[in-house]
Amino acid sequence: MGRLKLQAGINSIEEEPEDCNSSASSNKAALACMINSEVGAVLAVMRRNVRWGGRYMSGDDQLEHSLIQSLKALRKQIFSWQHHWHTINPSVYLQPFLDVIRSDETGAPITGVALSSVHKILTLDVLDLKTVNVEDAMHLVVEAVTSCRFEVTDPASEEVVLMKILQVLLACMKSKVSVMLSNQHVCTIVNTCFRVVHQAGTKGELLQRIARHTMHELVRCIFSHLPDVDNSERALVNGGSSLKKEIGGLDNEYSFMNNQLENGNNNSEYAGQASSVGFTTSASMNLANAMDESTIGANNGKESVGHDLHLMTEPYGVPCMVEIFHFLCSLLYIVEQMGTGPASNTIALDEDVPLFALGLINSSIELGGPSIRRHPRLLTLVQDELFRNLMQFGLSASPLILSMVCSIVLNLYHHLRTELKLQLEAFFSCVILRLAQNRYGASYQQQEVAMEALVDFCRQKTFMVEMYANLDCDITCSNIFEELANLLSKSAFPVNCPLSAMHILALDGLIAVIQGMAERISNGSVVTERCPVTLEEYTPFWMVKCDNYSEPTSWVPFVRSRKYIKRRLMIGADHFNRDPKKGLEFLQGTHLLPEKLDPQSVACFFRYTAGLDKNLVGDFLGNHDEFCVQVLHEFANTFDFQDMNLDTALRLFLETFRLPGESQKIQRVLEAFSERYYEQSPQILANKDAALLLSYSLIMLNTDQHNVQVKKKMTEEDFIRNNRHINGGNDLPREFLSELFHSICKNEIRTTPEQGAGIPEMTPSRWIDLMHKSKKSPPYIVADSKAYLDHDMFAIMSGPTIAAISVVFDHAEHEEVYQTCIDGFLAVAKISSCHHLEDVLDDLVVSLCRFTTLLNTSLVEEPVLAFGDDTKARMATITVFTIANNYGDYIRTGWRNILDCILRLHKLGLLPARVASDAADDSEISSETGPGKPITNSLSSSHMPSSIGTPRRSSGLMGRFSQLLSLDTEEPRSQPTEQQLAAHQRTLQTIQKCHIDTIFTESKFLQADSLLQLARALIWAAGRSQKGNNPPEDEDTAVFCLELLIAITLNNRDRIVLLWQGVYEHISNIVQSTVMPCALVEKAVFGLLRICQRLLPYKENLADELLRSLQLVLKLDARVADAYCEQITQEVSRLVKVNATHIRSQMGWRTITSLLSITARHPEASEAGFDAVTFIMSDGAHLSPANYVLCVDAARQFAESRVGQVERSLRSLDLMAAVGCLSQWARQTKEATMGEEEAAKMAQDIGEMWLRLVQGLRKVCLDQREEVRNHALLSLQRCLTGIDGVALSHSLWLQCFDMVIFTMLDDLLELAQGHSQKDYRNMEGSLVLALKLLSKVFLQLLDELSQLTTFCKLWLGVLSRMEKYMKAKVRGKRSEKLQELVPELLKNTLLVMKAKGVLIQRGSLGGDSLWELTWLHVNNIAPSLQSEVFHDQGSETQKGETAATPLAGGVAIPTTETIVS
């Protein structure tokens, strides 16, 4: 029933327990005494008055006055009552006082005391809900006090009485039994209170203040009960007539009888001079009359609808609240009617009443809050009447009124925003956006208040999200979020003026929005993979609905697709404005219009798309083409003219396009309009023709009244006469036509509506349309604290926001503003990184780096001190590096700017020593500390030398700093001042807070794209430095960049593939372009070696790539290579020792052995190189088929090298001759289970390796040094004869004889004959060894080789060498040793051949050929040998058997007795 629920447990003076009789009786006595003293007080004041006091002295025949009698009677009774107080009817002890209050015979002092007594009784909680007849008693009190009458003797006493009336009424409402009051009584109380407020205008300031305060308290008291009221649909049907009726009837029913101060009327409340409320006397009369007319005319004075009367007599609840709220809204309306509306500039006159009314409305909304939505009548008042007035007063010239309006709207947003979607849009469009921009003529104060209000809204966490979701993503609404964000950005920009409070205010709003987004990120629901919205097929865009507006999984994709559609429509509108046909084709292509156009879809495009050229739309709709006519009718059908006045409907219709100029087109347009209007609002009109004729008539009237060229204007009578008999032959009601006439005269119908996206005015017709739309508007989406739409929103506002914050930061001079901007920057960075908006983050970094002053290369005399003194620069620097450390994953091109800052700090010697170190291996840091890197953290005057003799690259910050303090290096320097020390300390602390080193040491956690960009930035910076014109400083920078590049490469060994190409190319460029030793090439080469050393164990798949890179070292310029050869060799040696097992490919080994081979002839490097070769080859530990030949070749280089001791060459030969691994591999091949082809291939490879080995040894056999030469010969012999288990093919042996043995013999002989003893000492011994080797190998292989067809050729080769050696001259004469040795060896060979049956005389040609050729040669060497070996056949054989001893292999080899070793 819309009444308060009675609450149990209300504390009052309750019945005491029976065991406390004494206290109960004393309590009763106390109350009796209290009432007795109040009776006494009233009587005492009455006795002072002559009228009342005189009666006692008259005769006994005159009785006392009834007022005195009742008081005395009460006095007699109170002490005789035995019952508890709550069993006594309160009317008994209240009535005497109330009689005094009602009496018009009593003066103001008496009435005042009686009111005080009632107030005391009410405030002492004598009454409670258990008290008998308490409801009647409360009604009596209210009725008595609100109809209080008294004689005014002086103004002061009158004010006292009025004040006490207010006190009693407020006490009634605050009393525990106020729930017993009816709706009617509550309305009466408020009405009386307002009458006092109004009357107080002519009284003292104190009464005015108290009256207004009481009114506020009453409203607060009433509306604070709204949450406790039962939900009820019942409220007054006729819009709160009762309260207005009472207010209107002030004159007759409730007037305070002020006989002494009538001033010609019976209305003392409204008499007097201009009141503080802001009314003149005439205004007061207007107010009264306006109220009076609005109610008495409708309700015939005191009569009221029975249903309403029934509601009003019930205990108070929603009905009285509706009444009061309606009355408060009507106060605003009355002020507007009186012409003191927003257009007026007389602020003093305008402010008071609206402020008072708005304050009361604000209180009621604060306390009623969300409960208002449960009561439709109240909600309707808020949605329509209140908001309409707020829109009007929002444009008031008074900042106070505007501020109060904004406060109310903020409260409404908090409590009722789900019911006020379109109203909020209108408020922001027509009030905030209009006032906050100075181009609409708003004063600075208005702008500031509007901006403050907007910032307050921005501080509501979900405000901007909800504006975006509900309005920006709705095709029928404007882009409020976008416009507000743009407004804030623009308003924060100081254009050609210093920074003002307004700029800072706008900045606060922007940053509040951004920080709201940043906070939402931590609440989850950030969609990292965003699927782009597309339309695959046509669906009517104006009919798309969401399945569930409260479920994010449903509404988020819905609003995103709506925003997409809205954007495409805007693009379509742009195309349409240039060429209507192409515009429609474009929309068909994007599936927003069907492939075959239909009238409804085109009509909806015209109706719901903002930004269309209204002239083109009007031309299209007025066209006679059949399709255009259909579109026109569909267009008219999109309007809702239900219960709308004709002129309002026409205004709305003509606002959407420009009415064409041709009469035929106008007729077509108005026909469509009339048809739709008649269909929806047929109340007065007989048919659609009547609507058409009247519409035409209104257009003509509009032209007549508002066209300056029409001199003679149409009168009301003319208009009514012109429209006779148009309503189906009958006349339309005169009042109806009169209303239309005045509406058109007062407010022109604009047939040329404004183009574009200007800020609209809220006209009455637009408001009516808004109320119609709000009934059909989709539900309001309430956003939670998750970041569902922030990506889209941030993409819209990020650019202007960064620009605005940057400009303010640039212009700011106070640290609080700096900090605000920094907070904004960090929030932008957080959002950008979270939503993967790399471009935005790059822009931010670029902007911030500008403020660090580090990129400013202009010559500041003392850059370190300037930086220390510049708070803005230091804050910007810390922020840049905070972003780099926290959000580096999403920085791309911004790394270049960050790196520029780092390089500048490096040049100033301000970087910590660890920056370029590699976190993976801290042991290497100490050796890597480059020039200018160490930092000193403690600072005292002792650290600061007064002289400045240090060079530019002096290590340490203090040396650098002392330089910066100097202006001229020749003069002695003074000690730095305290300010300089402090500035320097601040600089150090700033750099410390930046944690620059972690960017590189923690680079392993960077995302791949970011890491790649960081590496590219380093390469770019280094390359730029290399091209510079300042060699020492630029080389320093290039070295530093290279160090950083190597550091991040080593830190990212798991992602080396990503970086390797760039790093390799950079180092390659350095190596190939450097012709002299320098720090850069040194860093490049050793960095490369470090990378290989550290990465080989982890990246076997990249081993070849890494090792191939070391070939760069081979490309070094000779001078450079020479300078660093020893260190390079040591590094390569270290690499081999650590990673030998990880190097598997032949290519890798080729690089390593090439590097080692080069060192063989380098005095300093050869030892380390040989050490590495020994490590690989000793015991075959690290030899493999892949590296065998390469290692043999490297060892040969060391064997041949004359650098170092002969001993090393001999050791090299030993390493070469260790053929055990070949046997081992051959054995493994036999044991392994592999295919025949594979085994054959392996055997062939082993043979090839052996051949390469013996070829290498052959070369060493020609060495100048005797020991090396002879050792090589013995090693060669060992390799040729001791190769067990390796199956060498015949062809391989033939190759060996040709390429190795014969060649070696020929070359040795040539050396012996062609060089002096000084060059080749003791060549004779070497020749002897060589011949023995030939004989031994030949005999060992005789069995196998003799089977070959080419054996004859081989044998002839052996013979021809022996012959040559026999004839050889060493040092000009024949060698005795050879003369002895050759025949001996030949004899043994022939004996063995004879024994084996190889050399025998045959009859065949072949046999004879070998036989003959043999003796042909032998006879040239030693003619006697044939007779010695073959003197007779029998004895020869025996001799042969005794002359040769067979070996295990079955080959007869001459024994030691035969061959002289």
CA dihedral over 232, 237, 238, 242, signed as positive or negative: negative
Distance CA 851, CA 453 (A): 32
What is the rounded CA–CA span in Å between residue 922 and residue 897?
A: 28
Phi, psi of 646 (to 5 degrees): -60, -45
Distance CA 651, CA 764 (A): 10
Question: Is residue 1413 within 8 Å of residue 1360, measured between CB atoms?
Answer: no
What is the per-residue DSSP string for 829-865? HHHHHHTT-HHHHHHHHHHHHHHTSTT--S--SSHHH
329-341 burial: b if 16+ Cβ within 10 Å, else e: bbbbbbbbebebb
CA distance 225 to 895: 62
Q: In Å, how far are 837, 1148, 1185, 1293 from 1240, measured between CA atoms?
A: 62, 26, 15, 17
- CA distance to 1048, 1051, 1102, per residue, from 1055 (Å): 10, 9, 11
Given a contact cutoff of 8 angstroms between Cβ atoms, the answer to whether 999 and 884 are in contact is yes
Copy the structure tokens of residue 1095: 């990465």
CA atoms of 407 and 15, how far apart (whole Å):
47
CA nearest 1014: which of 897, 914, 918, 892? Answer: 892
Distance of CA 780 to the CA centre of its chain: 26
Structure tokens at 999: 């960017």
Spatial distance between the Cα atoms of 510 and 455, rounded to a whole number of angstroms:
8
1079-1099 core/surface letters (b: 16 or more CB in 10 A; e: else)? ebbbbbbbbbbbbbbbbbeeb
Catalytic residue among 551, 662, 1238, 1376: 662
The count of other CB atoms within 10 Å of the CB of residue 813 is 10
Q: Which residues contact 254 (CB under 8 A, 6 or more apart)?
A: 146, 147, 191, 192, 195, 246
Is 662 a catalytic site residue?
yes
What's the token pair of residue 446? 């208005």
Q: ∠1412-1414-1416 over CA atoms, to 5°?
A: 70
**Neighbouring-strand partners of residue 315:** 182
How far apart CA 170 and CA 190 sit, in angstroms, is 9
Residues sharing a CB contact under 8 Å with residue 159, sequence separation 6 or more, in sequence order: 203, 204, 206, 207
User: Pick from 286, 397, 299: which is nearest to 344 by CA?
Assistant: 397
Residue 598's H or E segment, with its range, is none
Nearest to 1175 by CA among 1138, 1213, 1147: 1138
Three state DSSP letters for 961-1014: HHHHCCCCCCCCCCCCCHHHHHHHHHHHHHHHHHCHHHHHHCHHHCCHHHHHHH
CA distance 470 to 478: 10
d(CA 1178, CA 97): 127
Tokens of 1338: 């030949």
Q: Are 1279 and 1218 in contact (CB under 8 A)?
A: no
Spatial separation of the C-alpha atoms in residues 1314 and 1024, rounded to whole Å = 60
Measured distance CA(409)–CA(429) in Å, rounded: 13
Residue 929 burial class via C-beta count within 10 angstroms: exposed 0-12, middle 13-18, buried 19 and up: middle
- Residues catalogued as catalytic: 662
